[in-house]
Amino acid sequence: MSSEIPDMTTLDSYRSKITGCLLGGAIGDALGGPVEFWDLDRIRRECGAGGVTEYVAEIVDGKPTYGRITDDTQMTLFTIEGMIRGSVRQDRGLGFAIGAVRHAYDRWLDTQMHSSPTGDRDGWLITEEWLYSRRAPGSTCLSALEEAREKKSGIPPYDLQARNGSKGCGGVMRSAPFGWLPTGWVRRDDTPFELAAQAAGFTHGHPTGKLASGAFAALIAALMRGTPLPEAVDTVLTQLSGRPHHEETTRAIMGAVDAMARPASSETIESLGGGWIAEEAFAMGLYAALVHSGPGEVLDALSLAVTHSGDSDSTGAICGNILGALHGESALPPELAFEVEGRGTILTLADDFVYEFTAHKRLHGDYGPYTRWTDRYPGW
Residues 94, 85: Cα–Cα separation, whole Å: 12
Residues with Cβ within 8 Å of 137's Cβ and at least 6 positions away in sequence, in order, are: 71, 74, 112
SS3 state at 69: coil
Picking from 281, 324, 330, the residue whose alpha carbon sits closest to that of residue 301 is 324
Q: Check: CATH 2.60.40.3080 for 11-144+164-376?
A: no
Show pLDDT as tens, one digit a residue, over the chain (380 residues): 444 454 445 899 999 999 999 999 999 999 999 999 999 999 999 999 999 999 999 999 999 999 999 999 999 999 999 999 999 998 876 667 789 999 999 999 999 999 999 877 689 999 999 999 999 999 999 999 999 887 654 445 556 789 999 999 999 999 999 999 997 776 666 799 999 999 999 999 999 999 999 999 999 999 999 999 999 999 999 999 999 999 999 999 999 999 999 999 999 999 999 999 999 999 999 999 999 999 999 999 999 999 999 999 999 999 999 999 999 999 999 999 999 999 999 999 999 999 999 999 999 998 999 999 999 999 98
pLDDT score of 98:
87
Q: Is 279 helix (H, G, I), strand (E, B) or coil?
A: helix
Cβ pair 176, 215 in contact under 8 A: no
Nearest residue to 1 via CA among 181, 224, 217, 198: 181
Query: For residues 281 and 250, is the Cβ–Cβ distance under 8 A?
Result: no
How far from the centroid of its chain's Cα atoms is residue 213's Cα? 9
Q: What is the pLDDT of residue 4?
A: 46
pLDDT on residue 72: 98
> Using CA atoms, how far apart are residues 66 and 31, in angstroms rounded to an integer?
9
Predicted pLDDT of residue 380: 87
Q: Where are the domains of the chain?
A: 11-144+164-376
Tell me the residue ranges of DSSP E strands in the chain. Answer: 58-60, 63-65
What is the distance between the alpha carbons of residues 4 and 355, in angstroms, rounded to a whole number?
12
Three-class secondary structure of residue 216 per DSSP: helix
Q: What is the 3-state secondary structure (H, E, C) of 142-178?
A: HHHHHHHHHHCCCCCCCCCCCCCCCCECCCHHHCHHH
Q: What are phi and psi of 369, to 5 degrees?
A: -70, 160
Is the CB of residue 39 less than 8 Å from the CB of residue 217?
no
CA distance to 82, 235, 349, 360, 370, per residue, from 376 (Å) = 12, 36, 11, 13, 12
- Closest to 13 (Cα-Cα) out of 191, 219, 223, 185: 223
Residues 254, 234: Cα–Cα separation, whole Å? 10
pLDDT at position 154, please? 45
